[in-house]
Amino acid sequence: MTSLYDEFRVAVHSVWTRRWLVLAVAWGICILGWLAIASIPNRYDSRARLLVDINEILPDDAQVGGGRPQIDQIRETLTSARNMEKVAATTGLLPAGAGERDKAGAVAMLQKSIKVVPQQDNIFEITSSVAVGSLSDADNAKLASGVLDSLITVFRDDQLRGGRMNAREGLKFLDAQIADREKALREVEARRAAFEAQNIGLIPGGAGSPAQRVDAARAELNQIDSQLVSAQAQLAAANGQLASTPQSIPGAGGGVGGGVARQQLAGAQNELSSMRARGLTDAHPDVIALKSQIASLKAMADREGTGGGGGMQNPAYASLAAMRAERQATVSALSARKSQLTGDIAKITTQQIQNPGIAAEYDRINGEYTAFKAQYDKLLAQREQVRLRGEVQTETDAIKIELLDPPSKPTSPAAPNRPLFLTLVLLAGIGGGIGAAFGLAQVRTSYATAAKLERASGLPVIGSITEVVTPERHLDRRKKLVWLAGGGGALVGLYALLLVAEFIQRGMVA
């Protein structure tokens, strides 16, 4: 512990003996540092908040040409080179008659100093940071807010005019495209008509290419096959029901009425016919029970005798006969249509096999016509949408721009923090002076104490002689000490003066 204390005393003594070097180095570092800080222009920041509300009168699919600007494109529009050039000219950063190089420099400086940060979907915070060395602090502060004012004005005017201009340009472009597609469509129609006239008999009639007609015929044929199978099954069921239904009801029609058994037999047979007309088979329990009842009634009717009279036509038989005739007509119609489709497919396939080049060329012409027709129809629809959009933007504002927070008026610089930097430079100057004195003491081969000399030489030191200070030397030391204190005080006073000047300058800006 004692050795550390001695080393500290030696270090302090070595620095103190070179106190003038400490003062000189501190002055040099502080002067250079403060000059460097003074050369840095103050940066003033201005902030504003902007609400960009998009008027969605038309749906998104109608935003063609004029279009609905996307929110992420607004940031790019705000800081576009065209807007920055207008802002530079408005705020005086770009003098009249400036060259392209000056314009590019002003635009690059503004794009670097302006930041657009989205806070929500359609709310943006815009910040401008201005630090022009050739301008005063008051001018820089005024310019920071002026840049935002000009930028918002330019953006609002550009958006109000841009939608209508884009709609007109979109209509002009679409009109030219529609005219080109219409011309091409007419040329294809003329070529197709000439090809059909030249190859009469080799190209079957109908809309579409041969391949498309074959595909359509095959699709219809598949549907007819399923319908024909169902109709044939229904016809077979009607034939079965008709075969098991008697044409007339015995003993019901000639006399007054016949016996009770015969009347019950006629009612049971009518009910059986009704069940079969509903589609019940002979295996159904109700049909089985009714057939057993009919057999019993027949036996009873036979024991009663004929009862007079011939017979009455069975109404159920007549209904089933009409149903069978209708289903036979359906089966015949479906069979005829199937035969016609099969013949058409065979005819088209034969023509394609016999004349493959003609069929391929006709398919190509039809495909070209279909493509041009689809493009033409799409362009017509888009033109109508653009026209509607233009009318909407003429009557209303497509984009509503509202200033939530106007550009702030900066009263103090955002950077650099001069008081902090001035203090750091002062501390660095003092530390640098002490370090220079201590480093010089380490280089010089002198010994502050007898013990240090003894350790360095390895020889015993008999004694040491202290310094004798005369009154004249003492007076000289006091004078130099006053000079040293004055130099240090002047350094600290200059630091305080710079701080006061900084705060006064800020007050003048406010």
Q: How many helices (H) and strands (E) does the chain have?
A: 14, 6
Domain segments of the chain: what residues? 2-40+416-509, 44-172+383-405, 249-313
pLDDT of residue 308: 44
- The residue count of the chain comes to 510
Could you report how far apart the first and last alpha carbons of the chain are, in Å? 57
Task: Judge if the upstream peptide bond of residue 416 is cis by omega within 30 degrees of 0.
Answer: yes
Tens of pLDDT, residue by residue over 296-322, are 778 777 765 544 444 566 677 777 777
pLDDT of residue 355: 63
Range scoring the smallest mean pLDDT among 3-17, 41-55, 150-164: 150-164
pTM of this prediction?
0.48
Res 155 pLDDT > 80? yes
SS3 20: helix
- d(Cα 204, Cα 438) in Å, to the nearest integer? 110
- d(Cα 335, Cα 331) in Å, to the nearest integer? 6
Q: How confident is the model at residue 435 (pLDDT cuts 50, 70, 90)?
A: very high
- d(Cα 386, Cα 170) in Å, to the nearest integer? 7
The answer to whether the CB of 155 falls within 8 A of the CB of 83 is yes
- d(Cα 114, Cα 19) in Å, to the nearest integer? 50
The answer to whether the CB of 13 falls within 8 A of the CB of 452 is no
The answer to whether the CB of 268 falls within 8 A of the CB of 250 is no
